[in-house]
Amino acid sequence: MSNSNYPVDMGVNPEVTAFFDPATNTISYVVKDPSSNACAVVDSVMDIDYAAGRITYDHADEIIAHIQKNDLKLEWLIETHVHADHLSAAPYIQQKLGGKLGIGDQITVVQETFGKVFNEGTEFQRDGSQFDRLFQDGDTYQIGELTAFAMYTPGHTPACMVHVMGDAAFVGDTLFMPDGGSARADFPGGDAATLYDSIQKVLALPDDMRLFMCHDYGPNGRDIQWETTVGAEKEHNIHVGGGKTKEEFVRFRTTRDAQLDMPKLIIPSLQVNMRAGKLPPADESGKTFLKVPVNGL
């Protein structure tokens, strides 16, 4: 969809509350419709001590407490993409508060790829049916009175979407803060040139659109930040700002990605997130296990 066709409405200013997870440098958000008590949660985090195989929900419980304390009604749980560096807590929050769970419809491509990597049987459906809604480019949905929409932004992964809610856009891993640049594009189905094109779609939104990051690592020792604007990214983003060309970006991104290690939590994250944040089914003993594919990634 071309940018002029997206239903941008800068006159709606949702209240955005951020929840930073220091273990994975992820920022989760509660987004409240300004005209009602409806809200959405974007990219929640389940806590895992991978060395101990222990899962807890302290971060998600904080979000749940915020929603309950403010008498909000949770209507949507949005995943910007299948994260490779943290586990989603969406099913846990949904079980407590309700709401519909949505992701980009290209999740099926990701499920196909990683269903093979983890040698999942027929129990694992590759049709996205673990989610309540599969978004296509330009699809709209309601958070109370607020009409939100999804923009298809592949490149980091094949199923990435940026979600725009009034004058606030949740960019997932298309962009980092201006001094952080962009996310890697070397996961299966990722592509640097495609990511560049997707970033241009984000940068074509109005200059004063608020942008909320999924991650920040505090480059060069600065404090953690998660909010910027389209205008600031256009001017200052170290990977794409100041009119950098696609060729420059692809050359830089490809060289850099070749030097990056796998994210620490990629193996548990993919296994859980491709199932919409649910753990694999228990085995005949009633116990739940995660697999480690040897030389499989």
What residues make contact with Fe ion under the rule CB under 5 A? 83, 173
Measured CA angle at 54 (ends 52, 56), to 5 deg: 150
- Cα(240)–Cα(164) distance, rounded to whole angstroms? 21
Minimum CB distance to Fe ion smaller for 173 or for 191: 173
Q: How far is the CB of 9 from Fe ion (least distance, A)?
A: 27
What lies within 8 Å, CB to CB, of 25 at 6+ separation is 85, 215, 216, 217, 224
Query: Of the two residues 43 and 233, which places its CB atom closer to Fe ion in the complex?
Result: 43
Q: Kindly tell me which of 74 and 182 has the beta carbon lying closer to Fe ion.
A: 182
CA angle 132, 135, 141 (to 5 degrees): 80
Give the nearer residue to Fe ion in terms of CB position, either 83 or 163: 83
Pairing of the two strands 210-212 and 168-170: parallel
In the complex, least distance from residue 217 CB atom to Fe ion, rounded to whole angstroms: 13
The answer to whether 88 and 79 have CB atoms below 8 angstroms apart is yes
Considering beta carbons, is residue 83 or 201 the nearer one to Fe ion? Answer: 83
For the CB of residue 31, give the shortest distance to Fe ion in the complex, in Å: 19
Nearer to Fe ion, 39 or 46 (CB): 46
| Nearer to Fe ion (CB atom), residue 32 or residue 156 | 156
What are the φ/ψ torsions at residue 87 (nearest 5 degrees)? -100, 140
User: Shortest gap between Cβ of 70 and Fe ion (angstroms)?
Assistant: 28
Distance CA 65, CA 237 (A): 35
Assess contact for 109 and 189: CB atoms under 8 A. Answer: yes
Query: Is the Cβ of residue 139 or residue 173 nearer to Fe ion in the bound state?
Result: 173
Rg (CA), the chain: 18
Q: Strands 227-229 and 210-212, how do they pair? A: antiparallel
Bridge partners, residue 42, by sequence: 29, 78
Q: Is-contact 202 273, C-beta < 8 A? A: no
Q: How far is the CB of 11 from Fe ion (least distance, A)?
A: 31
Contact predicate 39/75, CB 8 Å: yes
Smallest separation (angstroms) from Fe ion to the CB of 131: 17
Minimum CB distance to Fe ion, residue 296 (Å)? 19
For helices 90-97 and 58-69, the axis angle rounded to 10 degrees is 30
Contacts (Cβ under 8 Å, ≥6 apart) of 235: 178, 241, 242
Give the nearest residue (CB) to Fe ion: 173
CB of 123 to Fe ion, least distance (A): 26
